[in-house]
Chain A
């Protein structure tokens, strides 16, 4: 049934899809399913639709740190360069940890539903940078392990305010993309370890930022940084950072390769790894 919906979505978007925005301005897809960078959303909306047009993305991402593996897949659709709806499924493979500790589950899965609305501005042309407000509702599907390590709840909603600006020629003649987010969340490791904890059960204000340079219309290189809360006492939770290369051969395909520094995750430190994402846009 879900497949039929997906198919429907695909065909509708094929019929009405617009290509009104410039290449790469739809960004890639973040781990939570919203259009953006890799580890954080940007203020841009999925696909390439401008006023009166649809845009949509499907994506799959894998992050491999040696001890852990995260797989994400999802879809997003946007209308009028104004409003974006997204759904993503995250699956976190506990690998080493599950073996060492004899955990009852060796993977944790989560669903994320996202809504993003462009409030003001434009990525390139307006006086104001593009400013969007986002909401994400997340639900952990395997709550046993998170609850055993102190997580307080299985599902939660979080919000973020995002600002993005492309400055033409802003980096020694190359286009410069700046993004800054303020997020209000209590998700532990995105929510993969549940929401709220024994140490802190309130939302925190978290800052996220990224800077990218577009070498030409097809290639982007950049960095991202994301603050994370620290709600669980059994292990520390590190801020995340990554260094990425994005390739946008055309308005239907994007590839992102990154080196991610994820720090300490559930007691295992130095989780550096490779991030690879493939996105199709319609």
Chain B
């Protein structure tokens, strides 16, 4: 059982490195307009959340918004290229904790709920972002 578990998780990690083959997730997120609203909703909620608001005070929020839209578009199989910095680079000095990471996940989920994105599509996006956690926290 544990071996099966282990193999499954290895497989999951391996799959997550390649860009998706189809744009089904991109369409489920509502394409460009949907992704824009999801990113904006997530950022607004994050800036209001006392747990993590401090991280969003003195930054170029316009740039963050634009790069996040690119990234979610790319990760969901949409017609975009991500032109931002690496995840390690962009979170350097923020010292994000595991709790910070989950707080952002919750705001992303709320934003996707607000857009009516079905649960399986939400999980597909989360599964693509989850492997980046190691590059984002504790920097």
**Given A50-B98, A165-B9, A168-B130 in contact, is the A173-B119 Cβ separation under 8 Å?**
yes
> Is the Cβ of B102 less than 8 Å from the Cβ of A50?
yes
Per-residue interface assignment for chain A, residues 204 to 224, with 1 indicating a CB less than 8 Å from any chain B CB and 0 otherwise? 000101000001110000000
Interface size on A, residues (CB 8 A): 33
Q: How far is the CA of A22 from the CA of B51 in the complex (A)?
A: 14
Minimal Cβ-Cβ distance residue in B for A208 = B1
> Is the Cβ of A173 less than 8 Å from the Cβ of B97?
no
Minimal Cβ-Cβ distance residue in B for A23 = B106
Of A27-35, A99-107, A124-132, A239-247, the one contacting chain B is: A124-132
Chain B residues lying within 8 Å of A23, measured Cβ to Cβ, are 106
Q: How far is the CA of A173 from the CA of B130 in the complex (A)?
A: 15
Interface size on B, residues (CB 8 A): 29
Q: How far is the CA of A23 from the CA of B106 in the complex (A)?
A: 9
**Given A22-B105, A217-B109 in contact, is the A124-B123 Cβ separation under 8 Å?**
no
Chain A residues lying within 8 Å of B97, measured Cβ to Cβ, are 20, 50-52
Minimal Cβ-Cβ distance residue in B for A176 = B8
> Is the Cβ of A169 less than 8 Å from the Cβ of B102?
no
Chain B residues lying within 8 Å of A174, measured Cβ to Cβ, are 119-120, 123
Closest CB of chain A to B12's CB: distance in Å?
A: 6
Q: Which of A191-242 contact B (CB under 8 A)?
A: 207, 209, 215-217
Option from B8, B103, B120 in Cβ contact (under 8 Å) with A167: B8
Per-residue interface assignment for chain B, residues 8 to 43, with 1 indicating a CB less than 8 Å from any chain A CB and 0 otherwise? 111011000000000000000000000000000000
Closest CB of chain B to A211's CB: distance in Å?
A: 10
A contact set with B: CB distance below 8 Å:
18-23, 50-53, 81, 124-125, 127-129, 163, 165, 167-170, 172-175, 178, 180, 207, 209, 215-217
Q: Would you mind naming 16 contact pairs between A and B with Cβ atoms under 8 Å apart? A: A18-B99, A19-B99, A50-B99, A51-B98, A51-B99, A81-B98, A125-B134, A163-B1, A167-B8, A169-B120, A170-B8, A173-B118, A173-B120, A173-B123, A174-B120, A175-B123
